[in-house]
Amino acid sequence: MSEAVFSQLAMLVFLTGLIVWMGFIVWDLAKKSQAGRFGTIILFTILGAGVVGFIIKTVMVEIMNL
């Protein structure tokens, strides 16, 4: 296994773990602050927008071969 393949695989695994961990943190924050259903939806929408933006950027870089 080359260093490039290992790096790409490690980034995928650890980035997925980081996104899941951030989701847990947001869930815990919403629960402790008693944000309610609407507040929880807003928190996850904002987190989701950041994750979607990162995924779109990654896909565009792969499509454009930069």
What is the enclosing helix (H) or strand (E) of 3? Answer: helix 3-32
In order of 13, 37, 43, the CA distances from 33 in angstroms are 30, 12, 12
| The total number of structural domains that make up the chain | 1
8 A C-beta contact, residue 44 and residue 23: yes
pLDDT tens by residue, 2-61:
898 999 899 889 989 999 999 999 999 999 999 999 999 999 999 889 889 988 998 998
List the domain range (segments joined by +) for residue 48.
3-64
Question: Does residue 66 carry a pLDDT above 80?
Answer: no
| Confidence at 62, pLDDT banded by 50, 70, 90 | confident
